[in-house]
Structure 1
Amino acid sequence: MRASVMQLKVDPAESVAARRERAADRVRALHGSDLVVLPELWTTGAFAYESFAAEAESLDGPTAGAMSRAARDTGVWLHAGSIVEKAPDGSLYNTSLVFSPDGELARTYRKIHRFGFDRGEAVLMSAGREIVTVPTPEATLGLATCYDLRFPELFRALTDAGAQILVVPAGWPARRREHWRLFARARAVEDQCYVLACGTAGTHADVEQAGHSMVVDPWGTVLAEAGEDEEVLTVDLDLATVTKTREDFPALKDRVL
């Protein structure tokens, strides 16, 4: 399975519409990939709290439309990162969108763990409740978002649900970059899965972004890692490695709790 992780720059000087079109064009350039992954809240910026309400969209809004067309045109499974979703009752969610190669919205995931403690996302958005996996012909994807990475129980639940590849779009701040790198590897090792961790570049809302998107194999080896600017990582994943790792080092069988 060929996976491409697209680290995008969130530049406040670029309009959301222009960034949306640019991202769609970059997806279309990735013919030959089976799966393409975009970051968290790349339309607005994960820390641009004051823009959340104004930029909120429905699940058939402009970002979903653009990403659906890009997935169909390219013939890929597209994890289009996340948007600020405005639900029918007016609630806001940090919602990931996954499109099939025919452009259909295959699954959505509403972020369970909201960052900010008593401000920002934690008070502006509602929490998701559902563990979400996406079966594809090549592998089963397990979905999580950014701050979720700090909560290993979610990833164990995704593994129990059959995930072989854990997909984590993020808008992670540079000042905690080493946490990002550590957690991505830890989740891969403890769940014996591939991890595709896709972050943003640039600075928005005065928060410098960590960059350093990563592809990690089930043994914890970093197969590819981006720098701090825009970059695409394309890696061929051998899904037999997941099975072999679990057979050669069957730690998951020794679980007690």
Structure 2
Amino acid sequence: MRASLIQIAVEEGESVESRRGRVASLVREQAGAADLVVLPELWTTGAFAYEAFTDQAEPLEGPTYEAMAKAASDAGVWLHAGSIPERDPDGSLYNTSLVFSPSGELKAAYRKIHRFGFDKGEAVLMGAGRDLVTVRLPETTVGLATCYDLRFPELFRGLVDAGAETLVVSAGWPERRRAHWTLLAQARAVENQAFVLACGTAGTHAGVPQAGHSIVVDPWGEVLGQAGPGEEILTVGLDPAKVATTREQFPALKDRVLGRR
């Protein structure tokens, strides 16, 4: 199985419409190169461009949904299309990730549970999701998380209890906390004996330089690949069977006492 993480540069000078078309083209270019393609969090607006959330929010089946569904179908890939500022029919906003099948069918939508901002920004502008979400791919079961979720290990244990073997994190992580990004991605992989695919943004938006350095980690915590600071496509080969092998050779998850479902 091959996964491509598209680390998009989100710059203030590019319109949402232009970026949406550019990203769709990048997804199409992965035809034959990847089975799973992953995009970052809120790449249409920028994760820190709080003032744009309301203006750029779209319904679940809005323009980004349509563009990404077609791109997934054209490329014949599973596509984690990152997240969008979703406007619910009742007017509420959510940070919502979308996953499409190779036929362009929506297979999952995940509303971010842990909102960042400490009583400002996303934390007050957007509602919190409540549901853990997994998606069954032919090779592996994927568990979905978004950016700030990475700091909450109980979410990932819940995903593992739901059958997740590969944990996909879509993010807009700031450069000033890049060390945490790498450390936490490896920690989530080791403690859950799962692959972690963490895809962030590059560039600077709303005055906040982005960390880049998207990363793929295997169930032993080994870094299989990591991007640099700029826009980049990181493609890595994964052996899904390694999850079961790791859990059999070092069955730490069987010794859990607290929080076991």
After TM superposition, the score normalised by the length of structure 2 is 0.98
Aligned residue for 1:76?
77
Give distance in 2, aligned partners of 1:220 and 1:123.
Answer: 35
Which string of whole-angstrom CA distances, capped at 9 and with x for unpartnered residues, describes residues 46-85 of structure 1? 0000000000011110000000000000010000000000
| Equivalence for 1:15 | 15
Q: Aligned residue for 1:244?
A: 245
Task: Describe the SS at the equivalent of 1:144.
Answer: strand
Q: Following superposition of structure 1 onto structure 2, how do residues 25-64 of structure 1 map, counting pairs within 5 Å?
A: 25-32=25-32, 33-64=34-65
2:189 maps to amino acid: A
Q: What secondary structure sits across from 1:200 in the alignment?
A: coil
Where does the alignment leave 5 or more consecutive residues of structure 1 unmatched?
none
Letter in 1 for 2:30: L
Cα distance in 1, alignment partners of residues 198 and 65 from structure 2 = 21
Which residue is 1:198 aligned to? 199
One-letter code aligned to 1:18: S
Q: Calculate the aligned-residue CA RMSD, in Å.
A: 0.5
Counterpart for residue 257 of structure 2:
256
Superposition map of 1:87-102 within 5 A: 87-102=88-103
**Letter in structure 1 aligned against 2:18:** A
Aligned to 1:108: 109
Counterpart CA distance in 2 for 1:144 and 1:192 is 16
Aligned-partner residue type, residue 2 of structure 1: R
* Residue aligning to 1:224: 225
Equivalents in 1 of 2:160, 2:76: separation in Å?
27
Determine the C-alpha separation between the residues in 1 that align with 2:61 and 2:110: 15
| Alignment partners' CA distance in 1, 2:240 and 2:61 | 33
Please report how far the alpha carbon of residue 138 of structure 1 lies from its aligned counterpart in structure 2 after TM superposition: 1.1
Q: SS of the residue aligned with 2:42?
A: coil
Q: How many angstroms does 1:136 deviate by? A: 1.1
Counterpart in the other structure of 1:180 = 181
| Structure 2, gaps ≥5 residues long | none
Give the Cα separation in 2 of the matches to 1:234 and 1:210: 18
2:233 paired with 1:235? no
Identity of aligned residues (%): 72
- TM-score, with length taken from structure 1: 0.99
Shift of 1:112: 0.1
Q: Distance in 1 between matches of 2:59 and 2:217?
A: 32
Query: d(CA) in 1 for partners of 2:153 and 2:250?
Result: 19
User: Residue type matched to 1:45 in 2?
Assistant: G
- Deviation at 1:200? 0.2
1:146 match = 147
Structure 1's consecutive aligned runs of 4 or more residues displaced over 4 angstroms after TM superposition are none
SS in 2 for 1:45: coil
Q: Secondary structure at the match of 1:186?
A: helix
Letter in 2 for 1:90: G
Give the structure 1 partner of residue 24 of structure 2. 24
Inter-partner Cα distance in structure 2 for 1:237 and 1:252? 21
